[in-house]
Amino acid sequence: MKITDRQKAVLGKIHDFIMLNSYPPTARDVAEMMGFSSPKAATDHFTSLEKKGYIKRNSLARSIKLTDKALGMLKKDYSFPSPADAGHAGISYLPLIGNIAAGNPVLAYENIDEYIPVPESFTGAYGADFALRVKGRSMTGDHILDGDMIMVKARNTAENGEIVVALINDEAVVKRFYKTKDGIELVSSNTDYPPIKISIKDAGDSVKIIGRVVAVHRNI
């Protein structure tokens, strides 16, 4: 017997709840999330999900446990991290943005490759909203290398001199932001790459600031 779409949705809600609260939901929590008016609807799903090997439980309060099978499926479908990581306060999960599909908002589901656990101490006072992997060498002067992962606080404005992520024709670029007399300038810190100048009348059309870089991570 295969898992149904509805059961999958319930499983997803259980997972989301654990991620958010770090303890499992009750039948009533799930019923509310799913819009059921009776907890029985939720427990019926639990029974099915347990029979199919996606959860384990005993008849105690909040004792649902997601199995590896569930985690595998969720990972396939939503690329979520293991809820075993939850329960650790101070860790947030940043969506790792892959290729940015034209037209979609940056944080659109379609753009999210996976979620990565990041300790909040790694993202500074204001936190971060998403992560990106850097492509190219345009910011080597600021010690941001090809392949580095950057963590970004979502914002559509920037202060002079800040390192920002901007969308230029649906491509994410990392640059230093400067205001000029007649617009803005996005400057690479590698002099091989010329600065991009945008006049006020063009700005907003092809170029959009999507956030400020708050952290850089690199595996060696």
Partner DNA sequence: AATATTACTATACATTTGTATAGTATATGA
Partner DNA sequence: TCATATACTATACAAATGTATAGTAATATT
Active site residues: 138, 175
Sole window of 33-41, 101-109, 117-125, 175-183 interacting with its own copies (rule: CB under 8 A):
117-125
Cβ neighbour number for residue 5 with a 10 Å cutoff: 7
Supply the angle between the helices 27-34 and 5-21 in degrees, to the nearest 10: 120
**Of 64, 59, 133, residue with least CA distance to 95:** 133
Interface map 135-174 toward its own copies (x if CB under 8 A): -----x--x-x-----------------x-----------
Q: Which entry of DNA, its own copies, none binds 216, CB below 5 to 8 A by partner kind?
A: its own copies
Helix (H, G, I), strand (E, B) or coil at 48: helix
Nearest residue (CB) to its own copies, 154 versus 203: 154
| CA 40 and chain centroid, separation | 33
Nearest residue (CB) to DNA, 17 versus 130: 17
Sole window of 53-61, 96-104, 132-140, 143-151 interacting with DNA (rule: CB under 7 A):
53-61
Interface with DNA in residues 58-97 (CB under 7 A)? 58-63
Total residue length of the chain: 220
In whole angstroms, the minimum distance from the beta carbon of 192 to DNA comes to 51
Q: Does 22 bind DNA (CB under 7 A)?
A: no
Nearest residue (CB) to its own copies, 160 versus 169: 160
CA 95-96-99 angle, 5° bins: 125
Task: Using CB under 7 A, count the residues that bind DNA.
Answer: 31
Across 173-204, b (16+ Cβ under 10 Å) vs e yields: bbbbbbeeeeebebbbbeeebeeeebeeeeee
In whole angstroms, the minimum distance from the beta carbon of 68 to its own copies comes to 4
Burial of 55 (C-beta count, 10 Å sphere; 0-12/13-18/19+): buried
Q: Does 62 bind its own copies (CB under 8 A)?
A: yes
User: Which residue has 């979609």 as its token pair?
Assistant: 104
Q: CB–CB of 182/172 below 8 Å?
A: no
Q: What are phi and psi of 21, to 5 degrees?
A: -105, -20
Interface map 67-86 toward its own copies (x if CB under 8 A): xx--x---------xx-xx-
Binding site for its own copies (CB under 8 A): 18, 21-24, 26, 56, 60-68, 71, 81-82, 84-85, 87-91, 116-119, 121-124, 140, 143, 145, 163, 213-220
